[in-house]
Amino acid sequence: MTPDERAARASAAMWANDRASPWVGMELGPVREGVASMTLQVQEHHCNGHDICHGGVIFTLADSAFAFACNSRNQNTVAQNNMITFIAPGQLGDVLTASAREVSLTGRSGIYDVRVVNQDGALIAEMRGLSRAIKGQLFDEEQP
């Protein structure tokens, strides 16, 4: 199995069990080894008292893309620490895309950068995620 085939199988297994991301309104985009993207169209229920997309919604989008990127090797992996910087507000009707990419993977610990942009490519937020591998896999895979 190639790394990208493994990533596709891992993301399909994870998406099938993910109740939070679809509930928020996210759609899973392409996933390759160490890379993933998610999209979300900002709707009224995503907006806060300032009539802009709630920061927690943007964080959730970035965190979900991060999760799919760091689980792309079929090794159960969770967030150890995440930090987000908001650059510009998401607006009602915007289509936000979070693109996560692996920066480093050493042993059980990984570092991932996530960029959130709108439909025009304007930068909305940047997140750095630190991951930690735990026991288990998303799907059964024969070991050599």
pLDDT of residue 12: 97
Q: Average pLDDT over the chain, rounded to whole?
A: 96
For residue range 43-54, list pLDDT tens digits in order.
999 999 999 999
**Alpha carbon distance 131, 128 (integer Å):** 10
**Alpha carbon distance 119, 109 (integer Å):** 32
For residue range 55-91, list pLDDT tens digits in order.
999 999 999 999 999 999 999 999 999 999 999 999 9
Share of the chain above pLDDT 70, in %: 99
**Alpha carbon distance 80, 109 (integer Å):** 9
Residue-range domains of the chain with CATH:
3-133 (3.10.129.10)
**Alpha carbon distance 21, 97 (integer Å):** 13
Please state the pTM of the whole predicted model. 0.94
Q: Place 118 in a pLDDT band, splitting at 50, 70 and 90.
A: very high
Whether the pLDDT of residue 142 is over 80: the answer is no
DSSP E strands, 18-144: 27-32, 35-41, 77-86, 95-106, 109-117, 123-133
**Token pair of 35, please?**
């890379």
Q: Place 143 in a pLDDT band, splitting at 50, 70 and 90.
A: low
